[in-house]
């Protein structure tokens, strides 16, 4: 496991999307919740376990016999609560060891194509999290036009204001090995590697929100790749896919979440052969 999940910044254990190359800096809403107590949640915007941020530590998997937040929330409510939350702070509702355990669980349990286990996760907490976003900021500053900087700078400041960031990498080696072993699917493996990364992203996003964090998903790669690689000794061959920012949820931020626009279900779901 140690070679797949690396955690920095813990004392207790060892992009509107910004399409960066074109600098299409379209503003998006900054108003930007996973698992249920035994009774259904009444408000979709209030976290059922963690209405306010606390410093209580709640184990994720180590105490399966002692139910705790994420363990006692239904999968359905967890899915429902996950949102993009941008108003984050530096408080953590759980211990760093629990964050690491959740990440280990992702690497252990989330499926990968042909069981490639190509995902590599780097967890940056506190000062290391800040450092990552300083790297992104400094690189962006050199490229973003002055008149666009206020928006971009504030956005980066918002991410830096969180508690941690998970960097999602894919290691090309297992992919290459599968391409050699199964040439029939050679052209498919890179796509399935992206799917594998996405599954880890979704699981961790949902799990961290179940624990009381707020999260948002970013794509500033490849800008910080080289500096991050040098700073945290990340192999340069690993391909950075996404950054999951997480932190305490600022008061009222969950309540302020807008109801999402929905494409009608009839345009998206087609069921055949079901019994009524
Ligand atoms: C594959 C994927 C890529 C995304 N990329 C970004 C991103 O780069 N920046 C960002 O702020 N949000 C990003 N998001 C968040 C989506 O905009 C957001 O999930 C969507 O609008 C639905 O809102 P919700 O997360 O509150 O349910 C991404 C989400 C997905 C699934």
Residue 57 lies in a domain: no
Residue 32 lies in a domain: no
pTM for the structure as a whole: 0.84
- Section 21-45 average pLDDT: 35
Residue 158 lies in a domain: yes
Residue 127's pLDDT band, with cuts at 50, 70 and 90, is very high
State in Å: Cα 218 to ligand 1 middle: 8
Query: Is the separation of the CB atoms in 238 and 174 below 8 Å?
Result: no
Per DSSP, the residues of 126-171 read: THHHHHHHHHHHHHHHTTS-HHHHHHHHHHHHHHHTSSEEEEEEE-
Question: What pLDDT is stored for residue 16 in this prediction?
Answer: 56
- The response to whether residue 197 sits with its C-beta less than 6 Å from ligand 1 reads no
Residue 188 lies in a domain: yes
- The response to whether residue 219 sits with its C-beta less than 6 Å from ligand 1 reads yes
- The response to whether residue 17 sits with its C-beta less than 6 Å from ligand 1 reads yes
- The response to whether residue 79 sits with its C-beta less than 6 Å from ligand 1 reads no
- The response to whether residue 13 sits with its C-beta less than 6 Å from ligand 1 reads no
Question: What pLDDT is stored for residue 5 in this prediction?
Answer: 74
Closest CA to 53 of 229, 274, 187, 254: 254
Question: What pLDDT is stored for residue 50 in this prediction?
Answer: 57
Residue 270 lies in a domain: no
Residue 71's pLDDT band, with cuts at 50, 70 and 90, is confident
- The response to whether residue 23 sits with its C-beta less than 6 Å from ligand 1 reads no
State in Å: Cα 217 to ligand 1 middle: 6
Residue 44 lies in a domain: no
Give the CATH number for residue 231: 3.40.109.10
Distance linking the first and last C-alpha atoms of the chain: 46
- Section 114-118 average pLDDT: 98
Query: Residue 157: which domain range?
Result: 84-256
- Section 179-194 average pLDDT: 98
Half-sphere exposure at residue 157, Cβ-oriented, CA atoms within 13 angstroms: 7
Residue 10 lies in a domain: no
Residue 14, pLDDT > 50, answer no
Q: Which of 34, 44, 45, 84 to mutate to test the pocket of ligand 1 (most atoms within 8 A of CB)?
A: 84
Measured distance CA(110)–CA(198) in Å, rounded? 10
Residue 246 lies in a domain: yes
Query: Is the separation of the CB atoms in 204 and 244 below 8 Å?
Result: yes
pLDDT tens-digit series, residues 86-95:
999 999 999 9
Please list, in sequence order, all residues whose beta carbon lies within 8 angstroms of the beta carbon of residue 90, skipping any fewer than 6 positions away: 126, 161, 162, 163, 247, 248
Domain count, the chain: 1
Measured distance CA(266)–CA(276) in Å, rounded? 17
Residue 26, pLDDT > 50, answer no
Bridge partners (DSSP) listed for residue 185: none
Residue 97's pLDDT band, with cuts at 50, 70 and 90, is very high
């Amino acid at each position: 496991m140690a070679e797949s999940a690396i955690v920095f910044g813990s004392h207790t254990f060892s992009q509107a999307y910004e399409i960066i190359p074109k600098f299409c800096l379209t503003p998006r809403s900054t108003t930007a919740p996973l698992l249920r107590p035994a009774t259904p949640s009444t408000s979709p915007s209030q976290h059922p376990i963690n209405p306010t941020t606390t410093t209580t530590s709640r184990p994720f998997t180590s105490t399966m016999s002692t139910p705790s937040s994420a363990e006692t929330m239904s999968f359905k409510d967890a899915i429902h609560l996950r949102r993009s939350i941008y108003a984050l702070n530096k408080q953590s509702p759980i211990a760093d060891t629990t964050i690491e355990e959740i990440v280990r669980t992702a690497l252990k349990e989330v499926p990968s194509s042909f069981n490639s286990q190509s995902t590599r996760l780097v967890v940056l907490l506190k000062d290391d999290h800040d450092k990552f976003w300083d790297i992104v900021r400094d690189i962006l500053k050199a490229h973003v036009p002055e008149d666009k900087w206020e928006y971009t700078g504030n956005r980066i400041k918002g991410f830096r204001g969180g508690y941690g960031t998970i960097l999602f990498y894919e290691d090309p080696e297992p992919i290459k090995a599968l391409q050699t072993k199964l040439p029939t699917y050679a052209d498919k493996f890179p796509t399935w590697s992206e799917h594998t990364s996405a599954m880890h992203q979704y699981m961790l996003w949902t799990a961290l929100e179940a624990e009381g964090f707020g999260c948002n998903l970013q794509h500033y790669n490849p800008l910080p790749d080289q500096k991050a690689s040098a700073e945290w000794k990340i192999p340069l061959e690993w391909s950075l896919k996404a950054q999951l920012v997480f932190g305490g949820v600022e008061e009222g931020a969950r309540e302020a979440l807008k109801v999402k626009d929905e494409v009608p279900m009839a345009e998206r779901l087609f069921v055949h052969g079901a019994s009524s």
